[in-house]
Structure 1
Amino acid sequence: MAEEEGNNKDLKVIVFQLKDEEYAIEVDHVQSIERMQTVTRIPRVSAHIIGVMNLRGVITPVVDLRRRFGLEEKAYDEATRILVLSKDNIELGLIVDGANDVIDITTGDIEPTPEVVGGVEEEYLRGVVKLEDRLFTLLNLDKVLHDRSTIGV
Structure 2
Amino acid sequence: MDMITDATEVARHEAQRAVQNAKAKGGTPGGEYLTFRLGAEEYGIDILRVQEIRSYEQPTRIANAPAFIKGVVNLRGVIVPIVDLRLKLGCESAEYNTFTVVIVLNVRGRVVGAVVDSVSDVLELAPDAIKPAPELSSGQIDTSYITGIGSVAERMLILMDIEALMSSEEMGLMDAAAI
Determine the C-alpha separation between the residues in 1 that align with 2:121 and 2:42. Answer: 11
* Runs of 4+ more than 6 Å apart: none
Unaligned runs of 5+ in 1: 1-7
Counterpart pick for 2:54 among 34, 40, 48: 34
> Which of the numbers 36, 51, 64 marks the counterpart of 1:16?
36
Aligned counterparts, 1:4-153, within 5 A: 11-115=31-135, 121-152=142-173
Q: Of the two structures, which has the highest relative contact order with CA contacts closer than 8 Å and spacing of 6 or more? A: 1
Higher normalized strand content (fraction of residues): 1
Runs of 5+ in structure 2 lacking a partner?
1-27, 175-179
Aligned-partner SS, 2:171 = helix
Q: Percent of counterpart pairs with the same letter? A: 32
Following superposition, the deviation at residue 11 of structure 1 comes to 1.5
Aligned length: 144
Give the RMSD, CA atoms, in angstroms: 2.0
Aligned partners of 1:113 and 1:128 also within 8 Å: yes
The structure with the largest helix share of the pair is 2
Q: What's the CA shift string for 1:89-126, capped at 9, x where partnerless?
A: 1211000000010111133322111346xx97311211
- Deviations 1:2-55 (Å, cap 9, x if unpaired)? xxxxxx966111110000010001110100010101200000111110100111
DSSP-derived class of the 1:122 partner: coil
What letter matches 2:142 in structure 1?
Answer: E
In structure 2, distance between residues paired with 1:30 and 1:107: 21
TM-score by length of 1: 0.85
